[in-house]
Chain A
Amino acid sequence: MAHLDDLISTDILGYLSAQENKSFLRFITCGSVDDGKSTLIGRLLYDSKLIYEDQLASIERDSKKSGTQGDKIDLALLVDGLAAEREQGITIDVAYRFFSTDKRKFIVADTPGHVQYTRNMATGASTADVAVLLIDARYGVQEQTRRHAYIVSLLGVKHVVVAINKMDLNGFDQAVFNDIEVDFRNFAKDLGFEEIMCIPMSALDGDNVTTSSENTKWFKGPSLLEYLESVDVDSATLDSPFRLPVQWVNRPNLDFRGFSGTIASGTVEVGDEIIVTPSGKRSTVKEIVTFNGNRDIAREDMAVTLTLNDEIDISRGDIICKIDAPAEQADQFQAHVLWMSEKELYPGRQYLLKTTNKTVPASVSNLKHRVDINDFSEVAAKTLGLNEIGVTTLSLSAPIGFDAYKDNRATGNFILIDRQSNETVGVGMLDYALRRASNVHWQDLDVGKTARSEQKNQKPALLWFTGLSGSGKSTIANLVDKRLLDLGRHSYTLDGDNVRHGLNRDLGFTKEDRVENIRRIGEVARLMVDAGLITMASFISPYRAERQMARDLLEEGEFIEIFVDTPLEVAEKRDVKGLYARARAGEIKNFTGIDSEYQAPENPQIRINTVDMSADEAAEIIVKYLEDNGFLAGYDS
């Protein structure tokens, strides 16, 4: 690698110590298809003499085979890695590239331009300090340019370089450059960038890439590389409030209890008074431990281990702060969400929300609006699809410590994980805690669930009957209800008849409405269980995710899933309410089993086969289950 540095051959030790003091910058390149991103990165690598001879020989060979530049070297081939995209001639994922100069080491995220891979661009932007947006000088600011600028700003990138590329095709015409600059600044003025630097460029020929071009004497600004080498992105953050999200509790033996994590912002010194969110416990810093010896002070981005002067309970997910400016805590937020999955976001469905180090169940309680990223307008929406951005309210099952994303990228971000597939389906930025959250304090009642259920001589539970329409859910539930009454227990049954007509009469049968229907039923059932009742819920509840959501509202072991397993043919033959006939005739839409899917439980606690047994026998099995598992234990056992 021909680092053009005489020191390498004359004084390698001197060279090594000089290289040790390099700083570090991460940036992202983005633009529309064919704006020349890969070519630009190839050019940066090529002009910084960071291409090995064998690599160069290999792309020279490939250029002739599949290149798009005739006899010239196609520098894009250096960076377009995956076979599929080589064939299509486009980049389909984020690629990370590395190069360094004497001043800095750079990590470049090369991200794709076409619509369906917006999620990859957000990925690249999330760790970038600077964004380089490419614009084809022939076409000016495009829809994609706006989209990318918006995503980059949403993810908190403050410095933007607008690389107006392919200037060679218009003879480096200053008027073209000026028009595009004005256009860009005009639409980007509300995006909150601290700095916008427009540079006229030809990535293909290297104009204004590493050195200033003779072709643009009218341009007084720096070349791209000069800018990237000098931009200051590290200044303000050390003054930010101290945050250490605890990642791992370090306990090698009984005498040492340390809290390991990467400092998200600010600095900390031995002796500093700290407060832990969300517990509110306080102590002072005893040591800042590292493998290379204890430190007096540590800063943002350092991975350290703190020990404290008091034995207080701290676990993964807590945030250690200094007492002067502790992080907020809440369980209800407004947040921007960028959806990353083919499966749409449904308000009400439960996801796992993961922040830097804490994972809690959460749901989108309300989708306020979608953001149209062409004109940044607000559009009403019921769901979010792949690559769509929305403003939402989030409801978490437990409070977390946080900062608004605009104040702190590291403690204001999160991802949403699908509970079934474990995929990362969405990412988001916390805007603020909802007032509701800070005002609602759970009343710490003296009379608790235990007291109430003991009074009733039982352990509360939620028996969740799921199965096709006409499978016999409500019939069986009613029989169980009667038997429990006979045994002197306290129970109640929720079913379509008493819920759909009242509480949920505003809901239809679309997928979103079904999700919301089950959410409300789950919440009502939870209150009933809290009241000490053995509660029965008898609903088709076709989706696993919703049943899981109801399960998650309760304590371990309280949710008993009962699969009333009646084959579709049998249920349709029974057709007690004549609904199947109407569904077949097309009079009822979204009917489970006909034109809407039913996801059977995988591991129900109880499976009832109504073909082989009567409803009475089924009820007997369920009551026996309750007895065997201690729900009916009471005083006398």
Chain B
Amino acid sequence: MTLITDFVARVEAFAAANGQSLSTVSRKILNDGKGIARLKEGGQCTLKTLEEALVKLDALEMELSGESKLRMTHLDRLEAESIHIMREVAAQCENPVMLYSVGKDSSVMLHLAEKAFYPSKPPFPLMHVDTMWKFKEMIEFRDRRAKEVGMDLIVHINPEGKADKVGPFTHGSAVHTDIMKTQGLKQALDKYKFDAAFGGARRDEEKSRAKERIFSFRSENHRWDAKNQRPELWNIYNTRVHKGESMRVFPISNWTELDIWQYIYKENIQIPSLYLSKKRPVVEKDGVLILVDDDRMPIGPDEKIEEKMVRFRTLGCYPLTGAVESEADTLPDVIQEMLLTTSSERQGRVIDSDAGASMEQKKEEGYF
């Protein structure tokens, strides 16, 4: 008798602490919504039933305690989904590569790859399409991280663009981005015949990305056909391509900017210090603060180099990436500023601020 009374008391305490009705808990424990009520009114059950119920109650109590090993937060779930996607590529694609852009999203992606295959190293190389105008620190950071993780690093620079000395100051941002980034990427993918390339794009970044699949099919010409995408159900991914065709795979599609920052903070992931504020030499051009990263930067007669506390919200080619003035020199401060700020992340990038459909067009043409 006391066994049952003790049991009922524990169930009631659990229900109260958990804010659930007794019948809900009863259903979970006894598979019968009225079971506890019956026991409470003097009903009986076999010892076996009681033992099984106690096991379930233990599990429920553990879950409630908050320290349970079985709890999964939204970050845990995002992480698990990304790992699943990466393993699928490793198991199904013949020649995958991870596009590494050195930004915070790439840092998260690289960290997830380490987790996905541990204790093995990620079974694919990293590739960076260098435009020759990236921040110096990005290049140092890239080389160091690749070495630390122990992955092969492929660096591709569009040789024609290099020969023609293509740059944003001489050719304008659109031509520079197209030749050094878009064409450079296509060249590299063709050269190494990769059939799958991981990218760090997220669906919350931009409207047309919200509709792109996680496994995004590209024709032989690297084109994306928005209206003819493969259906993507459950976590089954169709990875099959013909020779010459390929997949762009976005393992962090379902992460938001806040998720990325929280995860970097929680997991202590290395990111370039450009994301944190410090005194840096900048010049104001067309209302945007541009870092003087090397002596290729033309300084006009009306322009002057100033030392300002600045940081960067995205990383790319330094002449095309505006700095923001900020005192945030630690990660929590950056996150705090991000949360309190009122303009969205990609606004700093020159490439997105054309008409609404521009990103979609660029993607159809092969931009990542």
Besides A52-B344, A83-B360, A302-B76, 6 more A-B contacts (Cβ < 8 Å) are A16-B265, A92-B227, A96-B203, A122-B231, A299-B72, A352-B240
Given the interface pairs A2-B342, A9-B336, A93-B227, the reply to whether A54 lies near B347 with Cβ below 8 Å is: yes
Of A177-185, A243-251, A579-587, the one touching chain B: A243-251
Say whether B38 faces chain A, with CB atoms less than 8 Å apart. Answer: no
What CA separation (Å) do A509 and B75 show in the bound complex? 57
Within 8 Å by CB of B72, from A62, A122, A302, lies A302
Q: Which of A256-264, A322-330, A525-533, A624-632 contacts B (4 or more CB under 8 A)?
A: A256-264
Most buried by B among A93, A98, A303: A303
- Verify A105–B74 contact, CB threshold 8 A: yes
Contacts of B70 in A (CB 8 A): 238, 267, 297, 299
Residue A119 at the chain B interface, CB threshold 8 Å: yes
A1 contacts across to B, CB distance below 8 A: 258, 338-339, 341-342
B360 close to A262 (CB less than 8 A): no
Determine if B59 and A12 form an interchain contact, defined as CB atoms under 8 angstroms apart.
Answer: no
CB distance from A360 to the nearest CB of B (A): 13
**Does chain A have a CB within 8 A of B296?**
no
Q: Which residues of A contact B347 (CB under 8 A)?
A: 54
Q: Indicate the member of A295, A409, A410, A415 with the most B CB atoms within 10 Å.
A: A415
On whether the beta carbons of A413 and B118 are closer than 8 Å, the reply is no
Q: Please give me the residue from chain B that is nearest to A247 by CB atom.
A: B87
CB distance from B161 to the nearest CB of A (A): 29
- In the complex the two chains form, what is the Cα distance from A126 to B226 in whole Å? 20
Closest partner residue, chain B, to A61 (CB atom): B356
Does B23 sit within 8 A of A, measured CB to CB? Answer: no
Whether the pair A247, B91 counts as a contact (CB closer than 8 A) is: yes
A168 within 8 Å of B (CB atoms): no
One of A20-28, A392-400, A437-445, A589-597 contacting the partner? A20-28
Please report which residues of chain A, range 42-86, place their CB below 8 angstroms from some CB of chain B when the two chains form the complex. Answer: 52-55, 58, 62, 79-84, 86
Q: Are A356 and B235 in contact (CB under 8 A)?
A: yes
Known contacts A12-B335, A16-B335, A247-B91; A417/B240 CB under 8 A: yes
**Bound CA span A340–B231, Å:** 8
- How many residues of chain A have a CB within 8 Å of chain B? 90
Is B77 in the interface zone, CB < 8 Å from A? yes
Residue among A83, A250, A415 making CB contact with B356, cutoff 8 Å: A83
Inter-chain contact A291/B114, CB cutoff 8 Å = yes
Report whether A303 and B116 are in contact in the complex, using a CB–CB cutoff of 8 Å.
yes
The residue of chain B having its C-beta at the shortest distance from the C-beta of A5 within the complex is B339
B356 CB contacts on chain A under 8 angstroms: 58, 62, 83, 86
Q: How many residues of B contact A (CB 8 A)?
A: 72
Is B69 engaged at the interface, CB distance under 8 Å to the other chain? Answer: yes
Closest B residue to A92 by beta carbon equals B227
Cβ contact within 8 Å between B227 and A84: yes
Instruction: A243 to B86: give the CA distance in the assembly, Å.
Output: 20
Asked if B83 lies at the interface with its beta carbon under 8 angstroms from chain A, I say yes
**Which of the residues B231, B238, B335 comes within 8 Å of A120, measured between beta carbons?**
B231
Chain B residues with CB under 8 Å of A105's CB are 74, 256, 259
For B262, the chain A residues whose CB sits under 8 A away are: 16, 19-20
Q: List 16 A-B contacts (CB under 8 A).
A: A2-B342, A9-B336, A52-B343, A79-B207, A83-B361, A105-B74, A120-B231, A123-B233, A236-B28, A247-B91, A250-B117, A256-B119, A290-B115, A302-B80, A352-B240, A415-B236
A367: Cβ under 8 A from any B Cβ: no
Confirm or deny: B159 has a beta carbon within 8 angstroms of a beta carbon on chain A.
Answer: no
**A97 at the binding interface (Cβ < 8 Å):** yes
Does chain A have a CB within 8 A of B253?
Answer: yes
B149 to chain A, nearest CB (A): 12
Stretch at the interface among A274-282, A419-427, A471-479: A419-427
Q: Is the CB of B231 within 8 A of A427?
A: yes
Taken together as a complex, chains A and B put the C-alpha atoms of A235 and B333 apart, in Å, by: 37
B191 contact set on A, CB distance < 8 A = none
Report how far A29 CA is from B150 CA in the complex, Å: 44
B227: chain A residues at CB < 8 Å are 82, 84, 92-93
Chain B nearest CB from A542 CB (Å) reads: 22
Q: Does A239 contact B (CB under 8 A)?
A: yes
Q: Does B47 contact A (CB under 8 A)?
A: no
Q: For A122, what are the chain B residues with a Cβ–Cβ distance below 8 Å? A: 231, 233
Give Cα A308–Cα B348 distance, bound, in whole angstroms: 51
**Any chain A CB within 8 A of the CB of B204?**
yes
A3 at the interface (CB under 8 A from B): yes
Does A616 lie at the interface of the complex (its beta carbon under 8 Å from any beta carbon of B)? Answer: no
- Kindly state whether residue B357 has any CB partner on chain A within 8 Å: yes
In the bound assembly, the distance between CA atoms of A301 and B83 in angstroms comes to: 11
* Chain B hits for A98, CB < 8 A: 203-204, 254, 256
Instruction: Assess whether A490 is interfacial by the CB under 8 Å rule.
Output: no
